[in-house]
């Protein structure tokens, strides 16, 4: 469903993403982990077609984000980091706008907006302007925008960032409900939620994939048996190897 092929990106002298490749099948929730500045958001932006790679490609449901961007983006729901939203709109206005931009009309648009509002649990804030919402609710409006057209592939950049524990649980439950029918890539710094949420985890460091396994197998690589321990060991090791 998602086939990432040797993506590369530099910003001036900074080689941010260095040949990242992986494949993701339906039913997989992949935790995309790595220290600050590892290249996670840059990789996700290239997959989403909002940043041009220097080389490499991403096939979304078989469609190239470079040569068939429109079709590829149709198969993709993307929650960017920070989720820039239209502050003066209410959530339903924003979702109708997004749905129209995606070519959804009539009953399909109405049903899509209603389903996204219910799934993201934002019905209680539908009368408020997005600009007046708390960080957590804005994140959930962004999430509603990403799932609006029920795409087979989801790219969620820190979806639980800024959410309180109840909202985090609600988002994890939503991801679990969607998981059997989709391929989902999630970046997060909250390692404790990875075993419960993800069936697989990739660790990137300095723009390269340095580990790819189940969260349980990764955790077993650490002395204390935790994913945090494995993360520290792997990323410290990467630092030592490149020193």
Measured from the CB atom, the residue of 34 and 49 that comes closer to ligand ATP is: 34
Distance CA 107, CA 239 (A): 53
Applying the rule CB under 6 A, the residues between 40 and 59 that interact with ligand ATP are 40-42
Main-chain dihedrals φ then ψ at residue 151, nearest 5 degrees: -75, 155
Measured from the CB atom, the residue of 17 and 143 that comes closer to ligand ATP is: 17
Measured from the CB atom, the residue of 9 and 168 that comes closer to ligand ATP is: 9
Q: Return the sign of the alpha-carbon dihedral for residues 96, 25, 60, 188.
A: positive
Site stretch for ligand ATP (CB under 6 A), options 32-40, 83-91, 135-143, 229-237: 32-40
Site stretch for ligand ATP (CB under 6 A), options 30-38, 52-60, 120-128, 134-142: 30-38
Which single residue is written with the structure tokens 């404790």?
Answer: 192
* 171 counts as binding ligand ATP under rule CB under 6 A: no
Binding test (CB under 6 A) with ligand ATP, winner from 14, 110, 177, 181: 14
* 225 counts as binding ligand ATP under rule CB under 6 A: no
**CB-based contact 15:21 (threshold 8 Å):** no
Site stretch for ligand ATP (CB under 6 A), options 34-42, 68-76, 99-107, 110-118: 34-42
- Identify which of 158, 155, 161 has the alpha carbon closest to the alpha carbon of residue 48: 155
Applying the rule CB under 6 A, the residues between 91 and 130 that interact with ligand ATP are none
Site stretch for ligand ATP (CB under 6 A), options 35-43, 110-118, 127-135, 164-172: 35-43
Half-sphere exposure of 217 (CA within 13 A, CB side): 10
Q: Return the sign of the alpha-carbon dihedral for residues 67, 68, 69, 72.
A: negative
* 38 counts as binding ligand ATP under rule CB under 6 A: yes
Binding test (CB under 6 A) with ligand ATP, winner from 27, 37, 62, 131: 37
Smallest distance, ligand ATP to C-beta of residue 7, A: 11
Measured from the CB atom, the residue of 6 and 14 that comes closer to ligand ATP is: 14
* 39 counts as binding ligand ATP under rule CB under 6 A: yes
Interface residues toward ligand ATP, by CB under 6 A: 11, 14, 16, 34, 36-42
């Amino acid at each position: 469903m998602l086939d990432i092929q040797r993506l590369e990106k530099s910003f001036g002298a900074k080689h941010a993403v260095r040949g990242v490749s992986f494949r993701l099948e339906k039913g997989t929730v992949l935790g995309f982990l790595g220290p600050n500045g590892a290249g996670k958001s840059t990789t996700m932006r290239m997959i989403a077609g909002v940043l041009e790679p220097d080389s490499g490609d991403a096939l979304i449901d078989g469609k190239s984000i470079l040569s068939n961007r429109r079709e590829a983006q149709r198969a993709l729901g993307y929650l960017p980091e920070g989720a820039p939203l239209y502050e003066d709109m209410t959530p339903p206005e924003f979702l109708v706008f997004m749905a129209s931009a995606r070519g959804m009309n009539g009953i399909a648009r109405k049903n899509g907006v209603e389903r996204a509002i219910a799934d993201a649990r934002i019905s209680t804030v539908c009368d408020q302007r997005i600009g007046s919402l708390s960080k957590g609710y804005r994140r959930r409006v962004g999430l509603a925008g990403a799932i609006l057209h029920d795409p087979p592939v989801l790219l969620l950049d820190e979806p639980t960032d800024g959410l309180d524990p109840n909202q985090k649980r609600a988002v994890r439950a939503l991801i679990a409900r969607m998981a059997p029918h989709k391929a989902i890539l999630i970046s997060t710094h909250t390692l404790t939620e990875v075993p419960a949420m993800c069936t697989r985890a990739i660790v990137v460091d300095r723009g390269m994939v340095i580990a790819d396994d189940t969260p349980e197998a990764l955790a077993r690589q650490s002395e204390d048996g935790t994913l945090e321990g494995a993360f520290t060991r792997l990323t410290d090791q990467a630092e030592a190897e490149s020193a």
